[in-house]
Structure 1
Amino acid sequence: MLPSRRTILAGAALLPAALQASAQSAAQSAAPAAAPADALIRRPIPSSGEALPVIGIGTSRRYEVEPVPDKVAPLREAVERFVALGGTVIDTAPSYGTAEDVLGLILPGPLREKVFLASKVSEPGRAAGAAQIERSFERLRTPVIDLVAVHNLVDPENNLATLRDLKARKRIRYLGVTVWRDSQFPELEALMRREALDAIQVNYAIDNRAAAERILPLAQERGMAVMVNVPFGRDRLFKAVQGRALPPWAAEFDCASWPQFFLKYVIAHPAVTCPIPGMAKASYVEDNLGAARGRLPDATTRAKMEALIDAL
């Protein structure tokens, strides 16, 4: 069984006293009382210049709960805390079980106005894809979805045509495509070269760096925003560092926890706009958003971070 995030965070108790004090100080400096919401690092969507905070919420798995009040309550708390601290990007998909329904319960009203909402289309065929998107509007209870992407490159020709029409009618604001496996990169690269996309979503983490070879540089070249899924490697990274102390030099880039270590590595790549880790608890929101504040590792430090993780 993979360790829980709680188990990993508990590993901070293994730090020497001086480092523990330093980590606590860094965490306190990232708390909302000490850092206003606008202190979050932001990156622009190249096609428009609209700037987004560099940490978003992904809803795969963790938001796939029964859409009833008691099940939704802790997720509502996480989303409300996320928005209160300056976060905006929330990513979902029709294929994420009940996640769209759950967000439809959480977001209507003033909260929706503060959220950059992203979803996907994953049905082949023009009519089926269009119908799925219409269901997303209904499930999310919103007249406009900020970004809709073709999920896992399913029938991109037909689905992108539908998305262009929706964008022209101002029912969506941006369009893109997503992948989640390295094996999809050749097809993704070809699509990025022939299509005008506002955004891509791709798998990238400190222990899975293949996207940095061609995809991320191409996104910069083509002026596409980059959302990053599974920045924790579907918990692989938490398992790798279980019981290990955060290195003292992490404080040099204002890093106070292993989740921040992994996220700051991803954010530090200049092509990355916004990783979207799953955050189902307010405490995870608070910790993860710490990665969107303060200094980021430079190229030399990123290489040092890679070497540390590769050696585990």
Structure 2
Amino acid sequence: MELTRAQFLSIVAGAAAGAVASAAAQKGPRMISRTIPSSGVAVPVIGVGTWRGFDVGADSTKRQQLADVLRALFEAGGRVIDSSPMYGTSEEVAGDLLTALRAHDAAFVATKVWTEGRDAGIAQMEASMRKLQHPRLELMQIHNLVDWRTHLGTLRAWKKEGRIAHLGITHYRDDAHEALEAVMAAEVIDSVQLNYSIDNRAAERRLLPLAADRGIAVLVNLPFGGGGLLRKVQGKPLPGWAAEIGCRTWAQVLLKYVVAHPAVTCVIPGTSRPEHMRENAGAGSGPLPDDALRRRMVSALA
């Protein structure tokens, strides 16, 4: 059954009762936080990406499930939600859910500009802010470096005006790392979003050290290798050392490897299932593997 937007917001708001927006709603161990170097803002190390999973349009059943995903995120102490106009209806869905859950103040919302030209970029970003239902976003990123020189000027002006708190760049492929590195080295930016996982450690060579040196926060996409890693370990018993770092599942092992790198600020695995959100969030607390254990983790996945 499809509901009107007003009916949906009313139902979800009633179920939420505002509780998830409160820090008191957090359950279990406190999630580790990392600081964005340029601003000093602390963000929890596990967030959620909205690619595919939040592109559900007006489907009320799927939206209810996604409301539970966000509840699980907040209850675990997380707050980073990453989206893009490239992701279909994901921005609109995320905005509706945050309004229904009364959780805009609890969330650290990041989205992107993904078009060419100054005027088109401004129009797209303003549309994103309307869809996300917030007059000021925590992070606006240039998606896949599309027309980055043009948009960087706009983002600097918007940051100065207080319309956004942070600005950044993104990509998701190894063959873009050289271009990311060039921008990171030459420009003053707050964050970079890049691909990094236990079976794809290319970012460790130059990008992560450069981010640390330049004081740039790092958001990590594709921590499960686009899903291939989870398929690879399916049915495989957890090694004994997993318990030493508080991991009960392979997903948590894979996320802890990424989180353990000191240059990583937040990991944003996508999910549309609340049980997976709770599982992912579990990787954000407890002990982290040291360098020796991280090498063993790599060997276990070889």
Whether the TM-score (by the shorter chain) exceeds 0.5 is yes
User: In the alignment, is the contact (CA less than 8 A) between 2:255 and 2:280 conserved in 1?
Assistant: yes
Contact kept in structure 1, 2:48 and 2:270, CA below 8 Å: yes
Indicate yes or no: 2:143 matched with 1:151: yes
Which runs of no fewer than 5 residues in structure 2 stay unpaired? Answer: 1-25
Question: Is it true that 1:284 corresponds to 2:264 in the alignment?
Answer: no
Aligned counterpart, 2:200: 208
Q: For residues 179 and 44 of structure 2, what CA distance do their matches in structure 1 show? A: 29
Aligned residues: 276
TM-score by length of 1: 0.86
CA distance in 2, matches of 1:68, 1:172: 30
Q: Which amino acid aligns with 2:49?
A: G
Partner SS, residue 97 of structure 1: coil
1:163–1:175 CA contact under 8 A, matched in 2: yes
Question: 1:182 aligns to what?
Answer: 174
Asked if residue 57 in structure 1 is aligned to residue 20 in structure 2, the reply is: no
* C-alpha contact (below 8 Å) 1:250/1:256 kept by paired residues: yes
Farther off after superposition, 163-172 or 64-73: 64-73
Q: Which runs of 5+ in 1 are unaligned?
A: 1-31
Aligned-partner Cα distance in 2 for 1:164–1:293: 34
CA distance in 2, matches of 1:234, 1:252: 26
Q: Deviations over 1:168-190 (max 9, x none)?
A: 11110000000100000111111
Correspondence list, 1:1-312, <5 A: 34-35=28-29, 39-108=30-99, 110-310=102-302
The 3-state SS of whatever aligns with 2:103 is helix
Q: Quick one: structure 1 residues 52 and 251, their matched pair in 2 at CA, closer, same or farther if it must change by over 3 Å?
A: same
Deviation at 1:33, TM superposition (A): 5.0
SS of the aligned residue for 2:301 comes to helix
Equivalent-residue separation in structure 2 for 1:267 and 1:199 (angstroms) = 16
Q: 1:34 deviation in Å?
A: 4.3
Match of 2:298, SS?
helix
Query: 2:193, 2:219 within 8 Å by CA — same for their partners in 1?
Result: yes
Task: Name the CA distance, whole Å, in 1 between partners of 2:144 and 2:27.
Answer: 40
Residue 84 of structure 1: how far off its partner (Å): 2.0
Q: CA deviation at 1:234?
A: 1.1
* Equivalent residue, structure 2, for 1:29: none
SS of the counterpart of 1:73?
helix
User: For each residue in 1:273-311, what CA deviation from the matched residue of structure 2 results, as whole angstroms up to 9, or x when unmatched?
Assistant: 00100121221121111101110000000001111111x
Q: Once the 2 structures are TM-superposed, how far is the Cα of residue 67 of structure 1 from its aligned partner?
A: 2.7
Give the AA of the match of 1:52: V
Cα distance in 2 for partners of 1:255, 1:83 equals 20
State whether residues 219 and 225 of structure 1, in contact with CA within 8 Å, keep that contact through their aligned partners in structure 2.
yes
Q: Give the drift of 1:94.
A: 0.3
- After TM superposition, the runs of 4+ consecutive aligned structure 1 residues lying more than 3 A away are none
Provide the secondary structure at the position in 2 that maps to 1:201.
strand
- Residue range with higher mean Cα deviation, 121-130 or 259-268: 121-130
* Separation (CA, whole Å) in 2 of partners of 1:147 and 1:307: 36
For residue 116 of structure 1, report the CA deviation from its aligned partner.
0.1
Secondary structure at 1:227 match in 2? strand
Using the alignment, how far apart are the partners of 1:166 and 1:174 within structure 2? 9
- TM-score, structure 2 length as denominator? 0.89
Question: How much does 1:85 deviate?
Answer: 2.0
User: How far does residue 118 in structure 1 lie from its aligned partner after superposition?
Assistant: 0.1
1:258 CA displacement: 0.4
Higher RCO (CA < 8 A, seq sep 6+): 1
**SS where residue 226 of structure 2 aligns?**
coil
> SS state of the match for residue 193, structure 2?
strand
Per-residue deviation, 1:69:
2.5
Give the AA of the match of 1:93: S
Distance in structure 2 (CA, Å) of the matches to 1:79 and 1:242:
26
Tell me: CA distance 1:170–1:309, structure 2 relative to 1, closer, same or farther (3 Å). Answer: same
